[in-house]
Structure 1
Amino acid sequence: MSVTSEIGAFTAVATVLTVTPGLDTTLVLRTATSQGPRNAYATVLGITAGVLCWGLAAAVGASAVLAASPTGYTVLCGAGAAYLIWLGIGMLRRARTRGRGEETFDTDPSGSVPTREAPLRSWSRGFISNLLNPRFGLFYMATLPQFIPEGAPHFLMGLLLALIHNAIDLIWFSLLILAVRQLGDRLNRPPVQRGLDRVAGVIVIAFGVRLITPVIFS
């Protein structure tokens, strides 16, 4: 197949992967509702940076090394699961303290004026959650070579496909952030914020448990 047809096929696969609700969607929606569009875009940029790293690793064969090393895979799964569970517990704790009217990381001592976290913190949350997810790397390792035509430079083609995936992420998550922004004050009510923190916390913890369960019982 030609380069153009392979790009088209990969775009379709990457689009389905992006729009399917998952951990990235949860992080972006949660950040958009609690921290605003600026921090939500920082989270998106962190996610795309993680995607780019895995795409380049797959292009140069590094993810194949990960797949061939049970120890390396287990360590990365354990680190990723621990991070996600820690992240989810933090969200549940914030939901509980909001419910008691106590101070949280995004509320000032008076409990009335929101204080935004640094965009770098939002970026790192998106980046680390993707970078510590070996399943994402294995997905790239399994699919990316299929979309590189014979004779095409692997690194450059892999970089191009990863950038296409990044563009799809930016478009889709921008639409989600815009939708959250349109809802405005309805999402900023304390009961709604508590509910969103609870739901997001449970989902993120579930992803962490799902990540480590096959390794424990393998």
Structure 2
Amino acid sequence: MFGIHDLALFIVSGFLLNLSPGPDSLLIMTRSAAQGWRAGCVAAWGVGAGVLVHVLAAALGLSAVLATSATAFTVVKLVGAAYLVWVGIGMLCSRAQDATVAADAALPPLPYRQIFLQGLLTNALNPKVAIFFLAFVPQFIAPDAPDKPLAFLVLGLIFDFNAMLWCNALAVGTALASRRLRIGARASTWLNRAIGGMFVALGVRLALSRQG
């Protein structure tokens, strides 16, 4: 159907790829621990919206531009890297107010709209995701597919659906774990700083990454 082959392999491979940790997972886990499962799920849906941006861009051929244009790739890469570093610095600067508060108090709550936007930008501004879609998805589209953009869109939506299953499960699981495991404010602050440092490192790594 649609010129798609090995659909089961695509689903399994995509799900396994979603399990690998990255800035999306860190953001979801951080928001769930700080503000509860609803905030984590909102972050997850923001990530899913970012995936849709890449899916639509790839289906329209914009990801091919990122793959072939060093200038376009560099611009998007640096913007995405700067955003990750900005989020990480914000977490590094967070401070606890009371030594007896729970872990979820170390990071200030944010409006759901802002959390959604964080998830969207964290994913949409990562050109590596665009390159991934351009390299991975076409392997499951037949050369003689009658409508390659449609096939690409269908596979992208399937990938995003599986990603949302995992991301929302991660949000709920993190929130439940944070309720049972309550730590002091000082330890919580250092935990946030450690995660913030990981965001900064991911941003620097993205900024220094090469196109090919």
Q: What is the TM-score when the length of structure 1 is the normalising length? A: 0.84
Q: Please identify which structure carries the higher helix content.
A: 1
2:59 maps to: 59
Deviation at 1:143, TM superposition (A): 1.4
Please tell me the residue identity of whatever aligns with 1:193: S
Instruction: List gaps (5 residues or longer) in structure 1.
Output: none
Q: Is 1:146 aligned with 2:129?
A: no
Structure 1 residues 90 and 35, CA gap change in structure 2 (3 angstroms)? same
Rounded to whole Å, the distance in 2 between the matches of 1:130 and 1:173 is 13
Rounded to whole Å, the distance in 1 between the matches of 2:32 and 2:90 is 17
Name whichever of 54-63 and 79-88 sits farther off: 54-63
1:180 maps to: 174
Q: Describe the superposition over 1:105-124 as per-residue Cα deviations: whole angstroms up to 9, x where unpaired.
A: x96xxx9xx96311111111
1:165 maps to: 159
Structure 1 residues 9 and 77, CA gap change in structure 2 (3 angstroms)? same
Deviation at 1:182, TM superposition (A): 2.4
Asked if structure 2 preserves the Cα contact closer than 8 Å seen for 1:80 and 1:132, the reply is yes
Rounded to whole Å, the distance in 2 between the matches of 1:33 and 1:159 is 33
Q: Describe the superposition over 1:131-173 as per-residue Cα deviations: whole angstroms up to 9, x where unpaired.
A: 1111110111111211112324222222211211122122112
Rounded to whole Å, the distance in 1 between the matches of 2:37 and 2:183 is 13
Rounded to whole Å, the distance in 2 between the matches of 1:30 and 1:193 is 11
Rounded to whole Å, the distance in 1 between the matches of 2:118 and 2:72 is 22
Corresponding pairs, count? 206
Rounded to whole Å, the distance in 2 between the matches of 1:13 and 1:124 is 28
Structure 1 residues 115 and 63, CA gap change in structure 2 (3 angstroms)? closer
1:90 maps to: 90
Please tell me the residue identity of whatever aligns with 1:131: A
Q: Is 1:209 aligned with 2:207?
A: no
Structure 1 segments (4+ residues) deviating >6 Å: none
Please tell me the residue identity of whatever aligns with 1:151: A
Instruction: List gaps (5 residues or longer) in structure 2.
Output: none
Structure 1 residues 116 and 9, CA gap change in structure 2 (3 angstroms)? same
1:77 maps to: 77
Asked if structure 2 preserves the Cα contact closer than 8 Å seen for 1:6 and 1:147, the reply is yes
What percentage of residue pairs aligned between the two structures are identical? Answer: 33
1:37 maps to: 37
Q: Is 1:190 aligned with 2:185?
A: yes
